[in-house]
């Protein structure tokens, strides 16, 4: 029992869950979106600042949620900063595929060292009811990049 749980709640997740990084707003954000998981009432807002060169200069979030959703959001902000919108979208596709088994399998070589860090979230596959916790922040980021104001983990 504890082994499976350790797969889900890896040290990195527990750490990010307790001490989320970039847990703040971005004053000069170019866009932001609100995400909610109607199942549990978890809520978060993701802020992004994208430069003229399409590069994500800053990204942050605020909100309330379980360890998985907080950790996923926190790790996401670290992972996508400095990436292009295209690059961030690829990462979204990969996370989505990895957690749900849906969509295209993404060639992870393009993520280099980041691939392992993203892989930490793959434990949710064994916990179907928790998949939405892991993907909420990513859906919200995607919504923000697309100029939408609302995202739902149902998306």
Residue ranges in contact with other proteins by CB under 8 A: 1-2, 4-5, 8-9, 14, 39-42, 64-68, 127, 129-130, 133
For 57, 62, 63, 111, 150, the CA distances from 43, given in Å and listed in that order, are: 24, 9, 6, 28, 11
CB of 82 to other proteins, least distance (A): 30
**CB closer to other proteins out of 87 and 123:** 123
**CB closer to other proteins out of 94 and 130:** 130
CB of 127 to other proteins, least distance (A): 6
**CB closer to other proteins out of 67 and 95:** 67
Cα–Cα dist 149/46, whole Å: 10
CB of 11 to other proteins, least distance (A): 11
CB of 129 to other proteins, least distance (A): 8
DSSP alpha helix (H) spans, the chain: 2-8, 11-18, 67-80, 85-100, 114-119, 131-145
**CB closer to other proteins out of 73 and 88:** 73
Task: Return the SS3 of 77.
Answer: helix
Task: Return the SS3 of 32.
Answer: strand
Answer for the pair 121, 95: CB distance below 8 angstroms, yes or no. Answer: yes
């Amino acid at each position: 029992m504890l082994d499976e749980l350790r797969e889900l709640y890896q040290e990195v997740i527990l750490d990010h869950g307790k001490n989320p990084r970039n847990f703040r707003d971005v004053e000069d954000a170019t866009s932001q979106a609100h995400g909610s998981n109607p199942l549990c009432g978890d809520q978060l807002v993701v802020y992004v600042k994208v430069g003229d060169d399409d590069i994500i200069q800053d990204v942050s979030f605020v909100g309330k949620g379980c360890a998985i959703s907080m950790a996923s959001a926190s790790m996401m902000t670290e992972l996508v900063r400095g990436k292009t919108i295209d690059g961030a979208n690829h990462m979204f596709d990969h996370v989505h595929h990895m957690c749900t088994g849906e969509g295209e399998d993404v060639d992870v070589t393009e993520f280099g060292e980041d691939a392992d860090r993203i892989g930490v979230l793959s434990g949710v596959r064994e916990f179907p009811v928790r998949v939405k916790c892991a993907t909420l922040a990513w859906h919200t980021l995607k919504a923000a990049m697309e100029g939408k104001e609302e995202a739902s983990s149902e998306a």
